[in-house]
Amino acid sequence: MKVIYTEKSQLLAARVAQHLGCKIAEVKYNTFPDGEQYVRVMDLDEEMVIVASTVDAGSVLQAVLMLDACEGRNTTLVLPYMGYARQDKRFNDGEPISARALARILSEGASRIFTVNIHDPSVLSHFKCPAQNLTIAPKVGEYIKTMNLADPLVLAPDDGAWEFAKGVAAVGGWDCDHLDKTRLSGSEVKMAPKHLEANGRDCIIVDDIIATGGSMATAAGMLKEQGATSVRAAGVHGVFASGGYVKLMQAGLADVASSDTIERASSKITASTVIADAVRR
């Protein structure tokens, strides 16, 4: 078995290979003058593992080319972050169901596929080979444990992310709740924990994706107004679009952490052990 990687997933691929106890093969990349991409896997094996977060169009294309390069092998495709997965419905006439389109393309040449905390698990039905979604909620909880907070309150940004937050909170047996929005006027909205009080608590907002960070930044300010001792944020996929990371830091968060599904300076949590365990099984 050998592990290969797209350019945006080198760190995670190296960690997965280390946990699997196998070699990581060299991959050569080049771009022709007309913009076309060239990929060459230098050392193929009968079993191949491709680690490819599809964070942009270039990463999608690299994953497709690698799958073709591994033709005839038993190939596992790992999509730690699957871009385009949030467009899982046709909202307007003429729109593609982007998650379905990408799933179909990436199924070609793969024997099995793993995703990590995909936004909507129903997307898995669009793959043409066995596909499984993995969760690293316990890994997020383990990271929170390292903070040595006496009595933290784990918060989901909404009720849709509450199950994920419960998985995080279960690691330390911590209190868990979700934020609830109350419209006070046409322009004023209040965000507060639905069932518990933030006053005097170290609050950690957790989610599968930190996209623009806007809602988290707003929630952090309101939680501090409600007497929270501190506010932190932890997510699986740190997208941080439109200056999202800066936005969170300016909101006064004590810590912002994400995983290495998207490789950032905030990647303090690794998905590698969960992925390696799944590949080994």
What residues are labeled active site? 181
CA 257 to chain centre: 12
What contacts 25, CB < 8 A, 6 or more positions away?
A: 2, 3, 4, 41, 42, 43, 44, 45
For residue 279, the SS3 value is: helix
Which tokens belong to 220?
A: 């952090």
CA torsion angle for 128, 132, 136, 138 (degrees, to 10)?
Answer: 170
- CA 272/CA 19 separation, integer angstroms: 7
Q: Are 9 and 51 in contact (CB under 8 A)?
A: yes
Residue 182 β-bridge partners? 190
H or E element, residue 144:
helix 137-145
